[in-house]
Chain A
Amino acid sequence: MNKSRYRLALLLAGCLSGSGFAEQQPLTLHGFVSQGYLYSKNNDIFGESTEGSWEYHEAGAGGHYRLSSRLSFSGQWFARDAGRGDNGSVRTDYLYADLLLSQGTSSGTGLRFGRVRNHFGFFNSTRDVFFTRPSILLPQFYLESFGVRELFFSSDGAQLHSYWDEKDYHLNFTGTFGKNKEISSDTVANILGSSATLAGDAELQSPISVQLSAGLPGDRWKTALSYYNATLTFNSASVLANLDVTLTALSLQYNGRKTSVTAEYALSSISSTFVAPAFNLVASGNTKSESAYIQLDYHVDDQFTVYGRFDHRLGDREQPNRTDSSVATLGSRWQPHPQWLFAAELHGIRGTAPIPRIDNRDREIAERSEHFIFMAGYRF
């Protein structure tokens, strides 16, 4: 079933190929498809990668329709297969109406309604598109291996967005206010462990995502401050749980003629309360974790880029030696044509946090592992 959907997406991509470069019309279409190959030592990632895995692909298609000078609509549908963590089912990535409230020569403000992307860090809003990521796999900053992507990837609600362009700088603001939504049992299991018995009634309440970004002309330097807050509630017959999650991030990027440097830092704080009435038990706690990375890109020419990244995470600031993990990445990207992209990466990993637990259910996660990943992508 999943494979047939994937083929359908591929077919759709083929049929729509080329329309992206047509004369700009009220309706414009876009799409992408990418296929990865992974080989790893000691731990599995996205399928049985210790024996070589092709279980990593992404495909999406969408469009942008301008109804009038003030109103437009955008949507994208997406399928991703990444080992046991994502099964390739098609889902609505975003679907919203965008109303332009005001616009001058140096500023503009608009309001979006529907399912919108949460802006967090530089890459969360396009994290599933190979062509927009800084590498094949995202750094730990983006919590990819924790199986919680549905929590802060997008929100159903309203998004206020604004920009100011001045002679010497520009500013952007995005504020998203989401409505409550049900959380899948898979995500609950990923948060609380696969043996969790709380699945059944889990909800994400009042998600808020705010980002203020600034840059020098042409984005020679740019920076962003991101904030995300939401409450997760779990109810079962025996236990009530409440988790207040706050993520704060600072991002910085330099773009030179040949060199780009990107660095991001995130602090996450989780305040949890567990109540078990049958046992007259109340427990609460607070955990803070940090993650940061720095990536250097060297643009050899218009088509070829090499990059290196060091990525570090402290799972619990109170226990740094027991919960830290780091990933060293070396990679290269080759784009021989605007519609084709190829990349290869080597990862050296210390620690268990970067390894998806869901792909290693039947084994103990090794402290050290190495990955080789190759990905090819096509877009239109």
Chain B
Amino acid sequence: MGGVFFQTKAFIAGICSAKKAARAPAKQAIAHRAALLILLACSCSLATANTPDPEPQIIINTKVTLPAGFSNSALRSIFFGRMQTWPDGTPITVFVLPDTHPLHLRFCTLYLKTFPYVLKRQWNHLTFTGSGVRPIEVGTTYNLYERVRATPGAIGYINRLPGNTSDVKFVGSESTSGTERTIRF
């Protein structure tokens, strides 16, 4: 809303400055600079208004044999600490971004249908009753990607590349972006 108002205001200001520039050639340079500033302000405003929410993509280490019927409910079992080993017996290692990271919030709401504070409460419960181990927190998506690639049984999430519609990408120590397999739920 604020962005639309700002754009309109900037547009009117742009017309006014253009008229003034036509009437007073001596002030042309100043007007030109003003127009540039207005254009920049408009583009910033548009960029802010159109910035999409980060889209998460689940990544799983290639050594995991994903069970048949893997879906959102299984994903919730994993991230809420109820399912702790893959069907082949490999312990599941969960990597997450900090609570304040926009991608973590988006992942929680989109895939887990929850909020970071609810998840944190659940992890505390697991830890202090001895019934599980809380996820490992890493600071950046790059580090998270590298940790999942290097850890057998690992699962996490990264930013989805534009045009990629798959839910899960399998990443491994020997995989490259060209060889990484992806699937949908």
Query: Which residues of A come within 8 Å of B, CB atoms?
Result: 20-24, 28, 30, 32, 60, 62, 64, 66, 68-70, 74-76, 94, 96, 98, 100, 103-106, 108, 117, 125-126, 129, 131-132, 161, 163, 165-167, 170, 172, 216-220, 255-257, 260, 299, 302, 338
CB of B151 within 8 Å of the partner chain: yes
Cβ-neighbour of B127 out of A30, A106, A220, A256 (below 8 A): A30
CB of B34 within 8 Å of the partner chain: no
Contacts of A161 in B (CB 8 A): 131
Question: Which of B56-64, B113-121, B170-178 is the interface stretch?
Answer: B113-121
CA distance A256 to B118 in the complex (A): 9
Q: Does B129 contact A106, Cβ atoms closer than 8 Å? A: no
Q: Does B128 contact A165, Cβ atoms closer than 8 Å? A: no
CB of B166 within 8 Å of the partner chain: no
CA distance A166 to B133 in the complex (A): 22
CA distance A105 to B112 in the complex (A): 15
Residue of B nearest to A125 (CB): B129
CB of B3 within 8 Å of the partner chain: no
A-B contact count (CB 8 A): 135
Q: Does B114 contact A220, Cβ atoms closer than 8 Å? A: yes
Contact with A along B75-94 (1 / 0, CB 8 A): 01100101101010111010
Contacts of B74 in A (CB 8 A): 105-106, 165
CA distance A70 to B86 in the complex (A): 11
Contacts of B118 in A (CB 8 A): 218-219, 255
Chain B contacts with A in 127-167, Cβ cutoff 8 A: 127-134, 136-137, 147, 151
Contacts of B130 in A (CB 8 A): 62, 64, 74-76, 94, 96, 98, 117
Question: Which of B9-17, B19-27, B40-48, B65-73 is the interface stretch?
Answer: B65-73
Q: Does B100 contact A302, Cβ atoms closer than 8 Å? A: yes
CB of B55 within 8 Å of the partner chain: no
Contacts of A256 in B (CB 8 A): 115
Q: Does A132 contact B113, Cβ atoms closer than 8 Å? A: no
CA distance A217 to B75 in the complex (A): 11
CB of B8 within 8 Å of the partner chain: no
CB of B106 within 8 Å of the partner chain: no
Q: Does B114 contact A105, Cβ atoms closer than 8 Å? A: no
Chain A to chain B: the 6 pairs with minimum beta-carbon distance, closest first: A74-B130, A218-B114, A218-B113, A69-B89, A217-B113, A24-B93
Q: Does B116 contact A126, Cβ atoms closer than 8 Å? A: no
Shortest CB-to-CB span from A21 to chain B, Å, is 6
Cβ-neighbour of A217 out of B73, B82, B100 (below 8 A): B73
Residue of A nearest to B94 (CB): A24
Residue of B nearest to A100 (CB): B85
Contacts of B87 in A (CB 8 A): 103-105
Q: Does A126 contact B124, Cβ atoms closer than 8 Å? A: yes
Q: Does A165 contact B73, Cβ atoms closer than 8 Å? A: yes
Q: Does A105 contact B99, Cβ atoms closer than 8 Å? A: no
Contacts of A96 in B (CB 8 A): 130
Q: Does A28 contact B85, Cβ atoms closer than 8 Å? A: no
CA distance A62 to B127 in the complex (A): 9
CA distance A21 to B98 in the complex (A): 12
Q: Does B124 contact A129, Cβ atoms closer than 8 Å? A: yes
Residue of A nearest to B120 (CB): A338
Contacts of B82 in A (CB 8 A): 108, 163, 165, 170, 172
Which one of A24, A69, A104 has the greatest number of beta carbons of chain B within 10 Å? A24
Q: Does A98 contact B131, Cβ atoms closer than 8 Å? A: yes
